[in-house]
Structure 1
């Protein structure tokens, strides 16, 4: 095992060749041409339940968003820039090593793990067993408390791998890694998921993960401790050429090798004459023959030796697939429309008893294949057609009991066409019924969204606007079903309502034509003016018409919050930024109710529980000495809010700024991260720690930070995102969104809160401005609820922007919220 004592430059060219070889030789199963990742967000251990099986894979946001791979197809590159000689003595791996920090360094890989793929399966208690580590040094894995104290993530309480990571419920976690020496490392990993209710378990496929650390030493060569054999095929046919390469675990100037063979594991080794280098060439003529290599030093002593590899000969045909067995994918003929269900089937001809498949996809014929992680292992692959997978290719592969590939289909290409106007899938029209004719104040209005033809999609949002020239607003009280029920009010006459249908990714697939509400009040007597509704007052010889008019008044009202979702724990991408079709969207994404569930921010209340309070914030940290702390690393009992801009990848608009323009609450909100060894570090542009402020991600990233709220109560953050094209300089901007935190106590559990608000009520006025009484006591502004258009609404609805114990709303914003029960934030 080698260690480092001083900084050195590396032989970049020589070591790159070694890395490319060693990536495939850490295990015989590793890919010969792996995807090399040297930066970016990586869920190294991605665990999911799919079709009743537990699947261990690797997910990354470097080549796309949440792209999944078999572990053996990826090499994780730890750059030389990760080297440090300043690891404090209390940190694992001190005093020096290659450190991948807990918080993301854009220039390095950021490996973590994600078990949110088991959510909803029942098998939610996951153990990730790193059973073996092979490499030139030690690997330490740990996290930091909110104030920089190293903390174990392994079940045995230690810091060094191998070991077991346990996530008792679905989680997304990152950690700090330290590699003590340069070289090639492999980790053998398997996951187990347990149903906490029944004790039943699922065990995943094994995975081999490869890390290439550093650039190799210059000056005097390092001494390898082991060799790996690269190039061994799953099997050969008699007479095939066997070409192998011996690769040391660290770059070296030593180049004298011997190769040895034996007919089986019981025979003695014989040296192969004429082979003195790292390459072996021979003929496959004996099934079961074993081969190994040894590397010699200048004194001709063996310094490193490989494990034996075994040559398997299988003369079943032409080497591509079993004789007469052809694998064909059906179901991709013709074209699909966005929202269609695509069902592909792998067909064997003739049929065999083999039934284990994997499905692969790629964006086009020139790209590398990626494992379709959601496909399962059967002969069918079912998914929903999306516009952005037009041109994608799909391939099926059939495996034997040893998980060797025995048949590979020809690729099929998906053709997705949208003949519509971009609002919804082809031939599917969304229509709103129930608005025909007119209504009277107090009537119940029930609108229904009807699909023609019907689909399986059932997630809706309803929107309203005062007239055809106004901006649509989310109807916050409407829910997400195909019906929207509310009480007619005089002041919503002329309002328009629209329904929108969403797919499982919360993308809009259909939008209805607007319907217009007609509210008429026939309760008064009619004057002679031809159709004006009012009440005749005074004596009948000089009739005066009492007309309804709007008037702004101030009064105290109880405040209720109406959120469709309250989150008090789990992984949340608070500011989720996506670009599509030249527009930018800012919303909220969470892994609590499912995986990557997206919501309008105004629909979600974020609860910072009392357990977040601490009076031990060290001096020098923002918010010291006390506050409600959401730590940088996930506490499974608290919310873990961060931000994700990977949704702009591929759009060109990759430089994202998230502007938190306003904070309203009873105290201060601090946002920051920590350095590799614990010091507070700003994440806001300009170097500050306190919000409001701006967060900038110059390239797509997924980031978490440390939050501190100084006081209990309710806070609202107003935010907007802007994305810039670094090449062209153009930019796109999202709509403004409001995020609400309830710190310590939820509003429902708090004492009743009130606030002075401005509302618009309907009062009676004659033509010359005198007060008069409208029929039935409909006018006036009082505390008894008989205030015109508000009489039927019950407690006023204030959509998620109130601050407990303070003036809750101001001016026109309150007017909008109280006049119209179903009016939410503009979209």
Structure 2
């Protein structure tokens, strides 16, 4: 029997013994001579004479035990009190060392019936030959010890509590056996005994019968004994259980919360009806987001996130080198969660600036830290840290139309509750705030029992009483910069172009008219615009110059100079990443294969990812090469140029559509690096022909439509063809606007498209239409 069960039985027996013992003067005379059988005040059958047998029967594969008398009457053990009257008192003989010291009093149930006391034997019936039944004393509680031997002369007990109850308190009963032996009790009172009997029938399965027995010894009030006190079920004792952490992404736990542990999520800020709202933007299963309430979401760092603090000065803020650390990096790690933050879903004009984010409370077994590699190589920007308490330093500003990632770090396994406040300024000047908590399970913590709705109580305090950092204003500009977006007008033999000099930019992969298009996703003005790369100049200003520290030998020798687009945003510079968020299993499959085919420029180009602890973790392109981008990904890297000047990067992206067709797109991105006039990089085509940029307003929620789907007059929206092929077929080039949902292009339109490509100037636009349901923003109800 388990220790918990024994403790519970002990508690119940104590109550029974206290009620039954005669204590002190004035107690009523005990009832110790009830007729055979009789029923006491609690409805229990009291047996105090004759031959009694604990008889077990095996029938139908099940073992059951009853208390029987010689006249074939029987009762369930839990309804019986076996009484050893005061006349059973005697003393321990010199030949009975197993019962105690010679001369000490004992009370016995004899092995043969007498006129003063019953016998208590045992029997087995219904079992076939060679099948022994194992009888085990599981627990015993009472006024003294109990000892059972096979016969009066035996000194080898079958059961004995004098040395506790253990595995030796068990013996086999052969099939067909009926026997009895003397029971000895070392004190008057009530004894609660718990037994099991088990047998494995030939060719069958083991069956076990558990039963109790109440024995009253000496001068006790048997009329006041309730056997239920020995057998009543106590409230279950909660035994420690192993934590449940190994659950699939998206599992729903006992509190109804969704567990997210693999894939991309953002702690996203939204504006709903003039209120600032925070939701967990879940794209772990699809690029179409599910907006989850933080109060019903658990973020999980699986055990695979475990690492150690590096022995590097820049990372001393994490703790002692070599100490355990559970961390989700700013770079996506297969099989782990990749949490970031975002203001991308806030419509332009909804706020006067960005969103401030402050840590206001934390509860957990260790410390929490969030940091990013700095735009300056070798340095780190610590955004939140509880190692020195929570102060005004635990806050930062998220610019408008921004999506970013950092390293989420925890110093111990367990459950954490993190409290935050976000704030922003409306165009009216009113400040809006949102207080929220995040529940985080780290390592082997029990995610199935964690209720994120309890986090507000666990963290304590009033997050709203802590003023957040000021809401950020427009992105700062360096003295040499004009507006981050400006136009270069078209001139004879020179194309018009858009110069982007600061802010968030993505090389975005999109499906347009049934084919892949690589477009420049431009957030630099605060409103997302998709542009044709051929009409864009990216200006990496002189401030991008830096000296390489040690540990970046794959980029260049320590001390050498590069001009670099940083992996972490510097608002004064362009921040160039890549984006496949619009691709999912509904329109594509596999990965987007991205290659750098050709570099024209005065120096080398290297694109690489900095690791969570610095250095070069992944070389994306080294003057060329190929890189696979998963669907539904938005990421940033360092783009290092070795020399000032104008670079033209010819790149190809290809993907397999959901219907099996392969589609690709090749374009050239122009980057003006350093102290050069970016307008001088505008390229001309044939003299007199101007290639106009393709501008696409950003969809917050809506359907991308091409000009060819709206007006036949704009059937050719772009001069650059889209390449589409079926698996195993030769590539087929088709005019961009003529490819609608992959349908075959009629010969006449193909010829017409070819003529137009050869001799006409193509214009067009793609724009987004919004449904009336989404114009009102993301509602709280939908977000949940």
Place the TM-score, normalised by the shorter chain, in its bin.
0.3 to 0.5
Give the TM-score of the pair, scaled to structure 2: 0.47
Give the TM-score of the pair, scaled to structure 1: 0.45
Bigger-Rg structure (1/2) = 2
